[in-house]
Amino acid sequence: MSSPDLLQRLCAWIEASYHRPEAIPFLHCFRIFKSVPLPGGLAVSAVSVRHQIPRTTHAPDLFVAELWNIRQGSIQPVDVKELCLALATFRAWYSEILEEAEIEGLRRRHRFSVHGNLIGESVEPAATVDLLSHHGGEVAFWICRERDGRAEIDPYYGESPRASGSVLGQMLDHLAWERPADQIGSTSAGRGSFE
């Protein structure tokens, strides 16, 4: 399947499946932009932007940008790095928007998040893929297969990462934690209980 054909099918899938109005509460609108250029000569295959209106009065609107990169063949670690660079670029662009608004005396009444999606025929096994596919939350991996003349796109999860302490966990060895309010006093006598 050619890249332009796959991009067209991806955009149709995003519209029909990923951003279905009945699946996303309070969806105001969404748009898809194809072949979005980035500084340094890179590009993102597609960007979908959705706008959800608040559920309650005075709550912020929600804007979510989803970056979609299509890779012919297997997704490689370099593809993950490029997507992470694209995510950082979009965050920097949003910071510019915030700064310009603040200079004009405006303050935001919305929330913005950006996530990345890599689509390929397979995923090259790597520790980074394993970690991001299970715990990252901002990068998703998708496998695209041709079946009966149509593209099927399914999520991909790597091996479950080892439970040993992460580098960050070792650096943050004295994080403060507490039990939810409804559990205070309901624990058995001893450490953490109140009598």
Contact by Cβ (8 Å): 80, 128: yes
Does the pLDDT of residue 1 top 70, yes or no?
no
> What is the per-residue pLDDT for 187?
52
pLDDT tier, 185 (very low <50, low <70, confident <90, very high otherwise): low
Give the largest CA-CA distance in the chain.
69
Check residue 59 and report its DSSP letter.
P
Q: Which of 6-20, 85-99, 139-153, 159-173 has the lowest mean pLDDT?
A: 159-173
CA distance 29 to 21: 9
Which residue from 56, 61, 55 is spatially nearest to 29, judged by alpha carbons? 61
Check residue 135 and report its DSSP letter.
I
Structure tokens at 23: 């699946």
Mean pLDDT value of segment 123-142:
88
Higher pLDDT, 86 or 164: 86
Which residue from 145, 167, 168 is spatially nearest to 155, judged by alpha carbons? 145
Phi, psi of 6 (to 5 degrees): -65, -40
Mean pLDDT value of segment 22-40:
88
Q: Are strands 150-156 and 139-147 parallel, antiparallel or unpaired?
A: antiparallel
Mean of per-residue pLDDT scores for the chain: 85
Structure tokens at 115: 């996530």
Structure tokens at 100: 């310009």
| Alpha-carbon distance values, 88 to 39, 93, 133 (Å) | 11, 9, 18
Could you read off the pLDDT of 43-73 as tens digits, one per residue? 999 999 999 998 888 899 999 999 999 998 9
Domain ranges in the chain are: 3-163
Structure tokens at 34: 């194809």
> What is the per-residue pLDDT for 169?
80
Does the pLDDT of residue 172 top 90, yes or no?
no
pLDDT tier, 170 (very low <50, low <70, confident <90, very high otherwise): confident
